[in-house]
Amino acid sequence: MKPDLHRLAADTVARVRSRLPAELRSASEPVVTLYQTVPDPTVLEQGFESDLLGLFEGANRLEADPHASDPPPRIILYLDNLWDLAEGDPEIFSEEVRTTYLHELGHFLGFDEDDLTLRDLD
């Protein structure tokens, strides 16, 4: 039986956030985390693949204007795609959620793909 993926992912993200160094935990507070089953058509129209695991949207903390009224930065995790990658294993799913969340959080922190690869978050 398939577990409650939203709850499992949210619990994993909460655990990951609680283990971040204080400075990173504080820096990540404005980032909203959303959980969707799969990417919606507007994301696919932007050229992303249908098996996308996660996405960061918004200005990173280096570019953000604190006086702007832009929507808050957000991370979207695509639960069915993560579950498929994990081949139905809850432990692997949690590890993929962890890696994907940290990867997307890295984008918010201003890391590019090379930086993320160096940190094993690719």
> Which pLDDT score, from 0 to 100, does residue 71 have?
78
Q: Is the pLDDT of residue 102 over 90?
A: yes
Q: Are 32 and 55 in contact (CB under 8 A)?
A: no
**With a threshold of 0.85, does the pTM exceed it?**
yes
Instruction: Say which residue the tokens 């971040």 belong to.
Output: 20
> Which pLDDT score, from 0 to 100, does residue 64 have?
61
Closest Cα partner for 81 from 63, 66, 93, 69?
A: 93
DSSP reduced 3-state for 45: helix
User: Residue 21: which pLDDT band, with cuts at 50, 70 and 90?
Assistant: confident
Q: Give mean pLDDT, residues 10-24.
A: 93
Q: How confident is the model over 28-87, as pLDDT tens digits?
A: 888 999 999 999 999 999 999 999 999 999 888 777 665 666 778 999 999 999 999 999
